[in-house]
Structure 1
Amino acid sequence: MIKLQNIKDNARSRRDAQRKAKQQAWASSNPLRVGRTYQVVAQRVTMVKQAGYSPAPLKFLVADAFWLAKEYKMQILRASYLYQNEFKRKPVIEGPACLPQVALYNAGHRKTRKEAVHIVK
């Protein structure tokens, strides 16, 4: 926020000061008309239940959220594989994208480790 640096008063600041003084004088002489004059009453929320309705248990809702997040992650992985195959890109080095290369090396189908970069032995 920019700090106000008015050294001299101008017409607008004088008008604002007069208006503020007038409002404060009116507010001090009429305290019942200033601010909120009513009490806020919190209303209870009730569910409208239809015949045969029962809410799902919380553990099912948590499981659904977990599986949705896992499915979203798998969709991202599938999209990265499609992107690599479509444009003949090099495989992604970070994360689980190099696991097929590691599995091929560990199974003995390849003799060199040149493509399996995350093998720790």
Structure 2
Amino acid sequence: MDAAFANIVTEPTGNKPNQPDATYHWFQVHIEDLGEPGNKAEDGAVCPDMGSGNDPFAEPPVTDNVADCGCGDFYHIRIYEGVVPAFNADGEVTNINKDNLIYEVYGYINGGNFQIHPLTGFDLK
């Protein structure tokens, strides 16, 4: 997922206590739904710190690494500050400045399960 969010002030700054100035942010989320139920690594699984190493937001994108489905589900989140996106006629973003990374976190979940596919027979047990 690649998207934007904004904190827009509708009243002049200072009219609301603790209301910051308007800001724009761009965020990216990469999730790897590994194995079922996906909540912890199996014995012998190879689970590198950065997941499979796939990064669909890299230039060029990295999408052909194979993940170990014996690992727990993996997440990678980045947030950039000061981004005001422009869109082309197809609705694609054309000018994302990714120079101001203000937050990044990644890892495997322990005790949960990402579901990014239709339910399977395993899920219905």
Tell which structure's C-alpha radius of gyration is larger. Answer: 1
Please identify which structure carries the higher helix content.
1
Query: TM-score, normalised to structure 1's length?
Result: 0.22
